Amino acid sequence: MKLLFKTYFLVFVLLAYSGVTFAAAKCLYVASYHQGYEWNDGIQRGVEKTLAGKCKLKIFYLDSKRNKKKEWIKWKAKQAVKLINEYKPDVVIVSDDNASRYLVMPYYKNKKLPFVFSGLNWSMKEYGYPYSNATGMIEVAPIKPLIKQLKLIQSGISRGVFISSDVLSEHKDYKHYKKVFAQSGIRLDAVYVVTFKEWIEEYKKSQQYDFVFIGNNAGINDWYGPEAKRVALEYTRKISVTTYDWMLPYSMLGFTKIAEEQGEWSAKVAVSILNGMLPSQIPVVFNKQWDMWINAAIISKSKLKFPYQLYKRAKHYNK
């Protein structure tokens, strides 16, 4: 992993200086989720900004966060294949796990058409990457820095609970979270919910733990932000943390990944491929950028005392 992180900077520099572009080139971005989902939109912003003037860009959404049935996702993947056959892109960028699981792996593994993936949570081994025609970025969360900060805030932490929507990526995340927390002597349980009512009930119960790890709300289709914020302000008594910036309104502490990083990197790789590089010549890397946040409004409702240095270093969420 250390080698890949070192390689990240080298590859980024090489890509930044890929000077030649082709105005007639066609790029396709296939998102696993839907427009309006903040993570999805962040990656898309990075892709669009970086590819502006470099190629003609078309976008396709699998919409697999709101529609989780395999039959739906497989049908949408077939629609993407149809689009690829008709549009004939020179390179395809895909984001998050379902695009790799249902589109790239079954239809394009080691084929001629080049692919760039991003947003694969923690590992690419489920899909057999890298292929001869694919490279990309694996998504990891800054869990070790998060654990370090938890211990600075409160000594003797031994038990936490992960509350999240019942979707593939969150199950995959929890598997790795649990392992990393266990290495620090902390037990992390998990609760998955489908409805907003279930989330409220589980959040209230979560206060029996030392801390609450707030996962994704995407996949909870009746989510209502104002009420979730009210619940967090009224019932939070233990440390609450998240790795998603759109969950900051309901969390005391955030160590958040930056979606635009993945979109920008993927687009730079796509430009290099348009300029003649092969995917096999570009190493797979890990994301490396993250932000630290505090939500003082929720902290003030509890009796917890956060270190002064944390207030100085962290960004302050105040919306």
- Can you spell out the DSSP letters for 135-194? EEEEE---HHHHHHHHHHHSTT--EEEEEEES-HHHHHHHHHHHHHHHHTT-EEEEEEES
Q: What is the sign of the dihedral through the CA atoms of 284, 31, 142 and 264? A: positive
At 112, list the tokens: 């001629």
Distance, CA of 234 to CA of 230 (rounded, Å): 6
- pLDDT tens-digit readout, 10-30: 454 444 444 444 558 999 999
- pLDDT tens-digit readout, 89-139: 999 999 988 999 999 999 999 999 999 999 888 888 888 888 999 999 998
Distance, CA of 133 to CA of 118 (rounded, Å): 14
In degrees and rounded to multiples of 5, residue 116 shows phi and psi of -125, 120
| CATH 3.40.50.2300 is right for the domain spanning 2-140+258-289 | yes
Q: What is the pTM of this model?
A: 0.78
Closest alpha carbon to 256 in 158, 178, 141? 141
**Topology classification of domain 143-256+291-316:** Rossmann fold (3.40.50)
Q: How far is CA 164 from CA 68, 243, 282, in A?
A: 15, 12, 34
Distance, CA of 132 to CA of 21 (rounded, Å): 23
Domains of the chain by residue range: 2-140+258-289, 143-256+291-316
